[in-house]
Structures are given as structure tokens and as C-alpha cells.
Amino acid sequence: MAARNLTAVITKEDDLYVADCPALGTVSQGASPKEALENLKEATTLYLEETGATVTEFKIA
């Protein structure tokens, strides 16, 4: 499978940070930007596995 870059958008809403992957529609949250991003990685991995895609790694630039 070819590598694919996905963009994460992180915003602060009240006391939480919300991480969104607009390309796939996956969303998660966390107490910090780092936690929100880690939770988004997990949610996105599960989503891609459900669609039959193979996830080998995430790279955050």
C-alpha cells in the first residue's frame, strides 16, 4: 500500500482539544493536543482497518 499523508486539525473546545481528520471524517478528543492526536491516530487506524486498508505507520510533520 502506498503511503498516504493525512492532515489533522486540532482545535480547543472548552477544556478539551478536538482532533479531526477531514479527509476521512474521523474525530477524537483529549486533555492536551498530544493526547487528542494520539486518540485520533487510534480512531483513524480502527476506521481504516474496518474498511480493509492496512495501516503500517503514522507520520506527523
The pLDDT score that the predictor gives to residue 61 is 46
* pTM, rounded to two decimals: 0.81
Tell me how many degrees the CA angle 60-9-55 measures, rounded to the nearest 5.
45
Note the pLDDT of residue 14: 95
- Which 3 state secondary structure label does DSSP give 50? helix
pLDDT per residue rounded down to tens, the chain (61 residues): 556 778 899 999 999 999 999 988 999 999 999 999 999 999 988 898 888 876 666 655 4
